[in-house]
């Protein structure tokens, strides 16, 4: 990674893009909500990833989050608003799922640089990346079940592949959050670094993916792509929709906000 000062390239405040040499840094930028995924954020991320892939000067993409956490999942307030309007969130979740599939299939390496909370949709974004670097103190988990929700952007399919089925079952059925160090043996998390060394570690990992033949990396990613992903993502959304319509999710989300004094 070049030491040339980074230059901003973003057009949306929801995702801030910066270029430093051959590395494009995409920072989720809703810090007040722990970078929860809103329609604006997912649209901005999708656009930013596409722009990075189209830029010949960019060899590696790093996705991180501003504020106290990487990403705490879908914006539950948005889900509650949709429920209040009598609309299920499947269209919204489909946009998230499709974006993460494009991240996974992107021809250039994509690294997740995570800290704070990596939960639900935040985990699903990290699962779609080629490598994960975590800051000490980071906790990672699926978390959906804690709000009587189901995954809708890849946990049910990618999590067992990345961390092994026994641990995936534990995380999904309990909603438990585990320290990032717990994921080192599986290789899902490539490195965990103290706060003072985090950026240097991210830089080192990014550099390990840069400077190689881009067309070769793209073809390797194509070979590694799982042909069953699209069907699995569709099934996940279908099961989510059935669960949403059978349960009073609005009441569950209202209770979540009430118990935290957030209404």
According to DSSP, the β-strands at 15-20 and 7-8 are: antiparallel
Distance CA 8, CA 26 (A): 10
Distance CA 132, CA 182 (A): 13
Most distant pair of Cα atoms in the chain: their distance: 54
pLDDT at position 6: 53
* Residue extents of the structural domains in the chain: 7-196+214-259
pLDDT at position 263: 53
Helices 76-84, 249-259: inter-axial angle, 10-degree rounding = 130
Q: Where are the alpha helices (DSSP H) in 55-89?
A: 76-84
Q: Which DSSP state fits 89?
A: S
Write out the chain's pLDDT in tens, 263 residues. 334 445 555 547 999 999 999 999 999 999 999 999 999 999 999 999 999 999 999 999 999 999 999 999 999 999 999 988 888 899 999 999 999 999 999 999 999 999 999 999 999 999 999 999 999 999 999 999 999 999 999 999 999 999 999 999 999 999 999 999 999 999 999 999 999 999 999 999 999 999 888 889 999 999 999 889 999 999 999 999 999 899 888 887 887 777 776 55
Distance CA 50, CA 90 (A): 23
Q: Which of 80, 120, 81, 116 is nearest to 100 (CA)?
A: 120
Instruction: Please check whether residue 107 is in contact with residue 221, taking contact to mean a CB–CB distance below 8 angstroms.
Output: yes
pLDDT at position 254: 83
pLDDT at position 258: 73
CA dist list (Å): 182 to 70, 129, 185, 235, 246: 17, 18, 7, 29, 35
Fold assignment, 7-196+214-259: 2-enoyl-CoA Hydratase; Chain A, domain 1 (3.90.226)
pLDDT at position 204: 96
pLDDT at position 7: 56
pLDDT at position 261: 63
Q: Which residues pair with 42 in a beta bridge?
A: none
What is the SS3 assignment for 128? coil
């Amino acid at each position: 990674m070049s030491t040339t000062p980074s230059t901003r390239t973003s057009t949306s405040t929801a995702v801030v893009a910066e270029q430093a040499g051959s590395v494009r840094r995409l920072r989720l930028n809703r810090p007040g909500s722990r970078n929860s995924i809103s329609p604006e954020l997912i649209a901005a991320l999708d656009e930013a990833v596409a722009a990075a892939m189209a830029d010949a000067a960019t060899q590696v993409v790093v996705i991180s989050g501003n504020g106290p956490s990487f990403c705490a999942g879908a914006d539950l307030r948005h889900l509650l608003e949709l429920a209040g309007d009598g609309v299920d969130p499947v269209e919204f979740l489909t946009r998230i799922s499709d974006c993460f599939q494009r991240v996974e299939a992107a021809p250039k390496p994509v690294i997740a640089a995570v800290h704070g909370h990596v939960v639900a949709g935040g985990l699903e974004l990290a699962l779609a990346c080629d490598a994960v670097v975590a800051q000490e103190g980071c906790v990672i988990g699926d978390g959906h079940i804690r709000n009587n929700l189901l995954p809708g952007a890849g946990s049910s399919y990618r999590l067992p592949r990345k961390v092994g089925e026994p641990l995936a079952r534990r995380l999904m059925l309990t909603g438990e959050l585990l320290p990032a160090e717990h994921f080192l043996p599986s290789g899902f998390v490539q490195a965990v670094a103290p706060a003072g060394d985090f950026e240097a570690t991210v830089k080192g990992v990014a550099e390990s993916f840069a400077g190689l033949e881009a067309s070769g990396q793209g073809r390797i990613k194509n070979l590694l792509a799982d042909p069953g992903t699209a069907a699995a993502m569709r099934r996940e959304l279908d099961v989510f929709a059935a669960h949403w319509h059978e349960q009073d999710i609005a009441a569950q989300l209202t209770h979540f906000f009430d118990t935290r004094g957030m209404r």
